[in-house]
Structure 1
Amino acid sequence: MQAEPVPGDLTGNAATAARLVHRAADAGAAVVVLPELFLPAYHPPTLRADPDGTYLAADETRRVADARLDPLATAARDRGVVVVVGAAVRHHDGRPACASLVVDRAGGIAAAYDKQHLWGPDENELFAPGRRGATLAVDGWRLGLGVCYDGCFPEHGRAAAASGAHGYLCPSGYVVGSEHRRDLYYAARALDNTMYVVFANAVGGAEPWRFNGGAAVYDPEGRPLVRGGDSGEAVLVAVLDPAELAATRAAHSMLRDRLADQGEARTVLGG
């Protein structure tokens, strides 16, 4: 997905997410990925000013129960889809997280993954880094979870692939001016690890938080199967094909051939 949330309007943004889930389900989607912090919107001044209104509470099992999310839970349940959506979460121990919520096909909601690599001073002030990776299992597929800046680190995608992931889901928030990096990082993570990558991004907003879309699904060689424009709402649907995944991994065997020990780097002087 690429769409524009309203800063601080968690109720309205959840309704927008539900509307988009119905659109995606109508197009045949089984898993729906929405942008980073979509529920409160990626707008640090609002998150800072209204934590009670923008953060969701997670219990000790990471479950989230909040009536404002009922339309989204209902959409997932009624359409039989799994939804991954960005949120600001306060865990039971008080730890704040930039999280990916997973809404399951029964409408249950969990803070499944906390962003591990926090970007810039705003995120580092507002959130604590996540402590571990996470993998979503759906219909025989293993889908690693990342959030935005996580995908800038080859090691993060590689850890997902090493744990058996066939794909990598990255809700994100890329701003205008970052188009080159936006289009390079996630294609590279796909090819690095011969896995599908799903990249969701926000659009719209006011400077300096004006987002540039470009949502895409990349095949295991890093080619875009679908891609959104730099502006405007879009629902992009692609098929993840197990035969294509297997063929790519047979032809490009980096995951098998990588060395467990790369050796200590040394300086070689020419004479």
Structure 2
Amino acid sequence: MQTVRTAWYVAVYHRPVTPPHPVPSAPLTVATVQATPTPGDVAGNALAAAELVRRAAGQGARVAVLPELYLCAYHPPTLAADPVGTDVAVDPAGVVADGRLDPLRAAARTAGITVVVGAAARHPDGRRTIAALVVDRAGTVRVGYDKQQLWGDERELFSPGGRGATLLVDDWRLGLGVCYDGCFPEHGRAAALDGAHAYLCPSGYLAGSEHRRDLYYAARALDNTMFVVFANAVGGGDPWRFNGGAAIYDPQGRPLARGADEGTAVLVASLDPAVLADTRAAHSMLADLLPSQGGPRVSLTG
């Protein structure tokens, strides 16, 4: 039986180039989810998340990724009006003990699956963050990562996170990002330079953004020769209507699984370490990256 380890630590974003970690010893089956949560209903959304997780586990997934802010729904008017009801409290050790999440804890524990799910987190110092919670296979819930790159009016409701994070599942290193983080090549690259074999991104892309949705995360995969698991919300009412398209990309940015623009879906794929090794051997950007990429710049006239 495989074991699971989870770890959170500061990722240094301006660091010397280091070789990637060895590829994992066995494939990892992962699931990405697109679904429609109910604004403000943390208990109801946790119950729905538990069912989605059971579906993922039933298809063999050992890791499941759900959308950004899924537990409260990405609905700024509700998040602004009811911060107490929509937030989950985080203790000084990063643990979330909110009883509303008990069904999700039980699903992870019973199915033996690690879950990454979006939430609004209230920290002991009063900060409110867009968090990627990690529910481990024992059912413990912790803040794995706080979104660093806040988008638009998110800055009025949330504080940015101050560190990167890598989730360790068996011998797979899974970099964590949230939505807009994945629009910055530097964020995915920081995960890759920290040894990530895959990059997990709970997200919330609005209808009309399909081109960018399908480009950014495929590009992060190809940029860094790593798998990418992109989850997204779907449905809802304008102007907060989301466009699905959840996907799992291989290390060359090709979709292994992709959802439609509408409808709930649980999409599963196997991350194959042989594919990772072959891709990195053929496309050695990480090994070839110069420590001072670009170097000093000069101005030219034409």
Is the TM-score greater than 0.5? yes
Aligned match of 1:190: 221
Aligned match of 1:39: 71
Aligned match of 2:16: none
3-state DSSP class of the match of 1:132? coil
Alignment of 1:149-188 (within 5 A): 149-188=180-219
The yes-or-no answer on 1:219 pairing with 2:219 is no
1:217 counterpart letter in structure 2: I
3-state DSSP class of the match of 2:269? coil
2:252 counterpart letter in structure 1: E
Deviation at 1:265, TM superposition (A): 2.0
3-state DSSP class of the match of 2:120? strand
Alignment partner of 2:261 out of 209, 218, 230:
230
Query: Quick one: percent identity of the two aligned structures?
Result: 71
3-state DSSP class of the match of 2:270? coil
Distance 2:94 2:144 in 1: 7
Alignment of 1:92-131 (within 5 A): 92-121=124-153, 123-131=154-162
1:40 counterpart letter in structure 2: C
1:253 counterpart letter in structure 2: S
The yes-or-no answer on 1:54 pairing with 2:86 is yes
| Residues 74-94 of structure 1 deviation map (CA, whole Å, 9 limit, x = unaligned) | 000000000000000000111
Aligned match of 1:27: 59
Distance 1:19 1:265 in 2: 54
3-state DSSP class of the match of 1:235? strand
Distance 2:245 2:170 in 1: 27
| Residues 117-142 of structure 1 deviation map (CA, whole Å, 9 limit, x = unaligned) | 00002x10111000000000001100
Alignment of 1:1-16 (within 5 A): 1-16=33-48
Higher helix share: 1
With 258-267 and 91-100 compared, the bigger mean Cα shift is at 258-267
Distance 1:83 1:218 in 2: 19
User: Normalising by the residue count of structure 1, what TM-score does the alignment of the two structures yield?
Assistant: 0.99
| Residues 67-123 of structure 1 deviation map (CA, whole Å, 9 limit, x = unaligned) | 1000000000000000000000000111110000000000000011000000002x1
Aligned match of 2:177: 146
1:18 counterpart letter in structure 2: A
Aligned match of 2:4: none
Tell me the number of residue pairs that the alignment of Structure 1 and Structure 2 aligns. 269
The yes-or-no answer on 1:91 pairing with 2:123 is yes
Alignment partner of 1:73 out of 105, 116, 136:
105
Distance 1:52 1:146 in 2: 25
Deviation at 1:264, TM superposition (A): 1.9
2:219 counterpart letter in structure 1: A
Aligned match of 1:206: 237
User: Normalising by the residue count of structure 2, what TM-score does the alignment of the two structures yield?
Assistant: 0.89
Deviation at 1:268, TM superposition (A): 1.2
For the aligned residues, what is the CA RMSD?
0.5
1:213 counterpart letter in structure 2: G
| Residues 37-57 of structure 1 deviation map (CA, whole Å, 9 limit, x = unaligned) | 000000000011011110000
The yes-or-no answer on 1:269 pairing with 2:297 is no
Distance 1:223 1:146 in 2: 19
2:151 counterpart letter in structure 1: W
Where relative contact order (Cα < 8 A, 6+ residues apart) is larger, the structure is 2
Listed as ranges, the gaps of 5+ residues in structure 1 are: none
